Amino acid sequence: MKNTLRQVFHAPKFVTGFVIFVLILLTMFIYPLVNPGNPLEMIGVGTFAKPGIYVSMYDATNTSMETLRLPDADDKRLDKLLSQTDRVSMIDWFDATGVDITGLDLSDTDTLLTLWNANYDPTVKPKGMTQAKRNYFKRLDASIKQINASDTLIVSDQAEDGTLTEVRTISKTDYVNTSQVANVKALPLGTDNFGRDVLKELVSAAGTSIQIGLIAGAVATLIGLTLGLLAGYVGGTCDDIIMFITNIFTVIPGFVLLILISYSIGQEQRGASVVAAVIGLTSWTWTARSVRSQVISLRNRDHVNLSKLSGHSLVRIILTDILPYIASYVVMAFILQVSSGILSEAQLSLLGLGPKTTEVPTLGLMMNWAMLYSAHTNGSWWAYFPVILTITLISFSLNLMNTGLDQVFNPTLRD
Amino acid sequence: MKGYRKYFGKKILWFLITLIVAVILNFVLPRLMPADPVAAITGKMAQGMTDASAVQEIYKRYEQEFGTNKSITEQFFIFVRNILRGDMGTSFSQYPRKVSDIISSAIGWTICLQLPAILVGWLLGNLLGAIAAYIRKGFDKVLLPISLFLSNVPAFGMAVILLVIFGVTLKVAPIAGGYAFDMIPNFSWRFIRSVITHYQLPFWSIVLVSIGGQAVGMRSMSIYELNADYVKYARFLGIKDRKIVGYVFRNAMLPQVTGLALSIGTMIGGALVAEIIFSYPGLGSTMYAAVTAADYPLISATTLIITIMVLVVTFLLDIVYGFIDPRVKAAQFDI
């Protein structure tokens, strides 16, 4: 046993998979300690806030400021304020009025502004340009002037009667240290459609999904192993009956049964563990078939025949002469069942038949919400991509472990 | 030949038995659902009506039309008779459309999408796996982790990623539907081109996902066979490498055929969910709509059709397996 374990932990594939899986598990346990709280709490009011560090503007204006004279501060500010559409519109104006713009770079804000200030004339009426378009350019010019003009901002306090009292003035060279601002919130993966912290939700969801996978895998392996052993070893009518059932459940696709059963259970009773058990109940056929075929190849071996001749009981033969030979196989099958259980939950949730939505986040539910709020078409990659990546990484690590074990127990497969 | 006849006879018998059980399960399970679909459809029709007896009348009328007022055994025999006639009742959610009408408009899309995609994925995967097993060093080292990683991307995940990259960001492919939404299906060149462009993303997402798993499986099987005693013996006999490789891959393919037969249900399941992502007008989207609307004639019919599809494919694979593996015959008479 000790030797086997040492061999297993020397298989590079197994170790890689194991390390990835353990890292995921560690994140699941450590992250909630660092960032405690309810993962389903809706902290954002809008939908899909972008990933990044959020600094409270209110607190920032009340924090003591330092003056920093950074040489490129003005340029950066201009770059940020002048949007891409504004730049393209400016080029349109130059085109319409015949200004020479050869070699002009759209991202070169300085040249663009000098050209604009030199050439823009609100009284010019380029040929074919509508009144509305000319007004648009007037507004654009006004906003560009504004960018150049305002040097200081005044923050004021509003009294009940509406009078404003100046609190402080902020000039362009004022900076605050983020560590001194009372409220700074890092949202590494932004928020989802409900305004929930995606990272916190994701960590919690990964935990629930792995639990679902483990329960589903355990249920499926237990049923599959029992039926496979009985069918393979006992044979005859017993084999026929079990294979009859197995054939039926292999042919009737598991996910069809999953959909039907999940739906008949109803939204109210559908907790995460119920969904897990249902997944397990519909996915054991594969294990049963493989165990049966392994047992059939084992049952005519000499040591089994010897046990039979010695008059050992059926249970004893199965436990001592058959099970140890397929144990490694069963472990591998279990690992695969766990990863397919996680996938099944995700698919089920995507159909809207996942666990009850208000209690726990699961990877599938997160995916489902992201799709319902069309995160994929409005560019909110942080709402769905980390979820896909997590599902992939979990099942990737499990499958790597499986391949590694396979190489240890099937010497012919070794590299 | 007698052995084959017995093998196929047994397979056909099994096919028929499982078909019957599948029909029974497909009848019973949707009817265990808690929602009363007739009440739901009556509620929709009777919106704004105040006369209770009129609502009652509507309820009775629909109950009679859908046959939900009869006993469950009576319903079952009507169900079987109707299936044999190809009449699967009237849809609740898309009333008064016939279920068989909805199914027949969806099934073509699903078959044309999934069968080629799964087959292409399976063939490409096996080819890559065999090459990886034969070449081993280097090639194998790069290909295996990539295949393993790809095979673990869920089908819907691959669908979303392809959709975002090619549909939303690069705008080279349409993001939804089976054809442009402003078209009516016909046999014009424009329509066919539209169908082909809409076909690309769902097709490749299914292919990419199925390649990985098959390649990994085929690689293991081929390596296993390449190290088998008969290969060594054949080498000692001086049989040409090319010929040995032929034998090896034929033997390695056998479990892959069984593997395909066993996983075809799961693969179709994943592909159906991918269909929903693309709003592809196939059975996946139909089933999604039916589940959402508690439309039980439609659920029953969709699941039945999918089950029959899987059943037929599995049966065909069994037949193919019988032809390519002479050991099957031996195994049949072993017991």
Over residues A179-203, the pLDDT tens digits come to: 888 888 888 898 988 888 999 999 9
Q: Are both A251 and A314 inside the same structural domain?
A: yes
Contact across the interface for A392 and B152, Cβ inside 8 Å? yes
Tens of pLDDT along B80-112?
888 888 877 778 777 778 888 888 888 888 888
ipTM over 0.85: no
Q: What is the CA radius of gyration of chain A?
A: 33
Mean pLDDT of A223-241: 89
Inside any domain, residue A93: yes
Q: Which of A264, A340, A388 has its CB closest to that of B33? A: A264
Mean pLDDT of A375-403: 90
∠ CA A313-A316-A320, rounded to 5°:
145
Question: Please, is A178 exposed, middle or buried when counting C-beta atoms within 10 Å of its C-beta (0-12, 13-18, 19+)?
Answer: exposed
Inside any domain, residue A183: no
Mean pLDDT of B326-330: 58
Tokens of A60: 């920032």
Inside any domain, residue A47: no
- pLDDT score for A414: 60
Q: Could you give the CA distance from residue A377 to residue A367 in angstroms, rounded to a whole number? A: 14
A209, A256, A263: which to substitute to probe chain B, counting the most B Cβ within 10 Å?
A: A256
Final residue before a domain boundary, out of A175, A208, A227: A175
Question: Please, is B18 exposed, middle or buried when counting C-beta atoms within 10 Å of its C-beta (0-12, 13-18, 19+)?
Answer: buried
B328 close to A (CB below 8 A): no
B266, B298, B333, B335: which to substitute to probe chain A, counting the most A Cβ within 10 Å?
A: B266
Inside any domain, residue A81: yes
Which is more confidently placed, A388 or A12?
A: A388
Q: Are both A257 and A308 inside the same structural domain?
A: yes
**A306-331 residues labelled b (16+ CB within 10 A) or e (exposed):** ebeeeebeeeebbeebbbeebebbbb
> pLDDT band at residue A206, thresholds of 50, 70 and 90?
very high
Q: Could you give the CA distance from residue B148 to residue A45 in angstroms, rounded to a whole number? A: 40
CA-nearest of A299, A301, A290 to A337 is: A290
Q: Could you give the CA distance from residue B25 to residue B300 in angstroms, rounded to a whole number? A: 9
Tokens of B70: 């009869």
Among all residues of chain B, which has the CA nearest to that of A13? Answer: B145
Name which of A6-15, A160-169, A255-264, B9-18 the model is least confident about: A255-264
pTM to 2 decimal places: 0.82
Q: Are both A148 and A251 inside the same structural domain?
A: no
Distance from CA of A310 to the nearest CA of B (A): 23
Mean pLDDT of B252-266: 78
Question: Please, is A102 exposed, middle or buried when counting C-beta atoms within 10 Å of its C-beta (0-12, 13-18, 19+)?
Answer: exposed
Inside any domain, residue A187: no
Mean pLDDT of B296-309: 82
Q: Which residues, in sequence order, are CB contacts of B83 under 8 Å at separation 6+?
A: B23, B304
pLDDT at A90 > cutoff 50: yes
Contact across the interface for A403 and B216, Cβ inside 8 Å? yes
Among all residues of chain A, which has the CA nearest to that of B138? Answer: A415
B16 close to A (CB below 8 A): no
Q: Are both A369 and A228 inside the same structural domain?
A: yes
pLDDT at B138 > cutoff 80: no
**Residue A126, preceding peptide bond in cis (omega within 30° of 0):** no
> pLDDT band at residue B66, thresholds of 50, 70 and 90?
low
Distance from CA of B115 to the nearest CA of A (A): 16
Inside any domain, residue A305: yes
Interface A-B, measured as beta-carbon pairs within 8 A, has a size of 138
Contact across the interface for B164 and A381, Cβ inside 8 Å? yes
Among all residues of chain A, which has the CA nearest to that of B11? Answer: A247
Q: Are both A200 and A333 inside the same structural domain?
A: yes
Mean pLDDT of B158-183: 82
pLDDT at B332 > cutoff 70: no
- pLDDT score for B226: 81
Which is more confidently placed, B43 or A137?
A: A137
Contact across the interface for A388 and B153, Cβ inside 8 Å? yes
What does pLDDT average to over chain A? 85
Q: Are both A83 and A220 inside the same structural domain?
A: no
> pLDDT band at residue A150, thresholds of 50, 70 and 90?
low
Tens of pLDDT along B4-54?
777 788 888 888 888 888 888 777 776 766 666 667 666 666 666 677 787
Contact across the interface for B22 and A400, Cβ inside 8 Å? no
Out of A120-124, A370-374, B214-218, give the one with best mean pLDDT. Answer: A370-374
Q: Are both A365 and A252 inside the same structural domain?
A: yes
pLDDT at B334 > cutoff 50: no
Contact across the interface for B148 and A403, Cβ inside 8 Å? yes
Which is more confidently placed, A365 or B2?
A: A365
DSSP string, B154-197: -HHHHHHHHIIIIIIIS--S--SSSS-TT----S-HHHHHHHHH
Q: Are both A204 and A171 inside the same structural domain?
A: no
As a whole number of angstroms, the longest Cα–Cα distance in chain B is 92
Name which of B2-6, B10-14, B116-120, B149-153 the model is least confident about: B2-6
Q: Are both A273 and A150 inside the same structural domain?
A: no
B245 close to A (CB below 8 A): no
- pLDDT score for A21: 94
Number of domains in chain A: 2
Mean pLDDT of B222-246: 84
Inside any domain, residue A57: no
Here the CATH number for the domain that contains residue A208 is: 1.10.3720.10
Which is more confidently placed, B183 or A87?
A: A87
Q: Which of B224, B270, B307 has its CB closest to that of A256? A: B307
pLDDT at A220 > cutoff 90: yes
**Residue A94, domain extent:** 65-175
pLDDT at A317 > cutoff 50: yes
Q: Which residues of A touch B287 (CB under 8 A)?
A: 259, 351
B96 close to A (CB below 8 A): no
Q: Which residues of B touch A350 (CB under 8 A)?
A: 156, 273, 276
Quick one: how far is CA A106 from the chain centroid? 36
Percentage with pLDDT > 90 across chain A: 18
pLDDT at A110 > cutoff 50: yes
Among all residues of chain B, which has the CA nearest to that of A256? Answer: B303
Out of A140-149, B65-74, B240-249, give the one with best mean pLDDT. Answer: B240-249
Contact across the interface for A235 and B335, Cβ inside 8 Å? yes
Tens of pLDDT along A17-50?
999 999 999 999 999 898 888 888 888 888 888 8
Q: Are both A305 and A349 inside the same structural domain?
A: yes
What does pLDDT average to over chain B? 80
- pLDDT score for A315: 85
Strand intervals (E) in A162-312: 164-171, 174-175, 184-187
A257, A260, A366: which to substitute to probe chain B, counting the most B Cβ within 10 Å?
A: A260
Inside any domain, residue A53: no
The Cβ of residue A100 has, within 10 Å, a number of other Cβ atoms equal to 9
- pLDDT score for A225: 93
- pLDDT score for B30: 64
Q: Does residue A193 contact residue A383 with C-beta atoms inside 8 Å?
A: yes
Q: Are both A33 and A71 inside the same structural domain?
A: no
CA-nearest of A351, A259, A22 to B155 is: A351
* DSSP 3-state of A168: strand
pLDDT at B2 > cutoff 70: no
Final residue before a domain boundary, out of A140, A175, A210: A175
Final residue before a domain boundary, out of A142, A175, A208: A175
* DSSP 3-state of A12: helix
Q: Are both A347 and A406 inside the same structural domain?
A: yes
